[in-house]
Amino acid sequence: MLKAEWTKSMRARMTLVMSLSSVVPVVICHLIVVGTSGARFSDIVWYLPLIPVLIAINWFLSGIILIPLRQLLQATTKLANMDIRQRLEVEPNELLETAELRKSFNKLLNRLEESLNIQCQFVADASHELRTPLTSIQGYTKLLLRRGQSIDGHLLAEALQTISDESGRLIRLVSDLLQLARADAGQAIINQQDVIDARDVLASVEDTVTVIAPEQIEIQFIMPSQPIFVFADSDRLKQVFLNLTNNAIKATQAGGKVTVTLRMSNNQAIIRVIDTGIGIAPADQQRIFDRFYRVERSRVKSRIYGGGTGLGLAIALTIIKAHGGSIDLESELNKGSTFTVRLPVADEKTGKSDTEKKRTAELARLEAQEKQDRQKETKDQTRDPRDQRDQRGQNQKDQREPREKEAATAVQEQQD
């Protein structure tokens, strides 16, 4: 049905309902008058000329009532054509119901527009990031094809190394995009979780970064002597801390220091990655976990704080949130940055945090109490009637004995 036809049909039905709601009470009242006073029923014909007038008035009123609905219909029609820039205006003296309807619809459009803008920006950034390594690979491939066998050995090695590096970066980018797409689709980004010692994860990270870190940068891992257990996917946690530590190393100049600490506080495992690098400006700190966001290259020569793809920190945040934790950032320009990861501590045997254990114990207590109540109720319902009579007789006897004792005491006092 077309929009104009729908509006006319809705208006006609509303007019009919309004007219009937006005005429029917008049007819009923007339019938009551005829039945009680003996007036003639034919006098009702005097009301017939008022019916067209009543219909015209109701038609006019229904048009006014349907104005907000017509505007909403127009807006939804534009929305179906992906035009989400228009908004419904809220009149100052408008009815509360229609005003709330307009506001709710405008909020929906705002969220849709924001989501669409984020999606468009994400696609544009992803296309740009994919184009960069592909362009480099294509350029060196054409160079090899053009030079053929006459190419210099040093240039050949450089071209092959560049193709290999850009191919690896392209693979990492596609893998990161796949992880984020799965997370957005509600699929699990973490695999099998076990009770693990956070020290083991950081020790594995230390073995990796000490090999790739420049000798001019000091790397230090500070961990407690006692184990700190968390219920987590060890591979994903290692991915997070490798990313944070690698970013810290890239942001730190020669002679600087990167420190990774682990401690437990308030039933949380707290891991801090501290560097003495260039720091991050406040404006950049607010967007550092956004996808494809990087610090300005005028201040940062290398592609840091993104794992080389601009997605590392976004994935790290997604992984930590999937573990029930959080990531915070504290940074100051020319002084360094501190990334703080908090994870709930788990019990070594059960693999549950203290909060989960308390919740489980409370649920067990409530279930036991409910079971006892059901057993007691069932026992009362299945009790033998003779036992019930004996119990009532015993209760009555217990109630009579105090009264008999009081009466005997009173008689004794009178005799004395």
Name all domains of the chain by residue range, CATH numbers in brackets.
Answer: 3-113 (no CATH), 194-344 (3.30.565.10)
CA distance 218 to 25: 92
Residues shown for the chain: 416
- From 317, 278, 318, 316, select the one nearest 298 (Cα to Cα): 278
| pLDDT value for 40 | 61
* Mean pLDDT (the chain, rounded): 75
Q: Of 33-42, 59-68, 93-102, 274-283, where does mean pLDDT reach its minimum?
A: 33-42
Which one has a higher pLDDT value, 79 or 116?
A: 116
Structure confidence at residue 78 (pLDDT): 66
Query: Which residue type, as a one-letter code, is found at position 78?
Result: K
- Give strand ranges (E) for 323-370: 326-332, 336-344
Separation of alpha carbons 240 and 190, rounded Å = 12
pLDDT at 34: 57
Q: Are 183 and 321 in contact (CB under 8 A)?
A: no
User: Structure pTM?
Assistant: 0.56
Greatest mean pLDDT among 98-112, 134-148, 292-306: 134-148
**Arithmetic mean of pLDDT, 103-115:** 81
Task: State the residue for tokens 């573990």.
Answer: 323
What does the block give as tokens for 155?
């240039």
More confident residue, 174 or 57: 174
Query: 110-125: per-residue pLDDT in tens?
Result: 888 877 777 777 777 7
Bridge-partner residues for 272, per DSSP?
261, 340
Report residue 365 as tokens: 């207590």
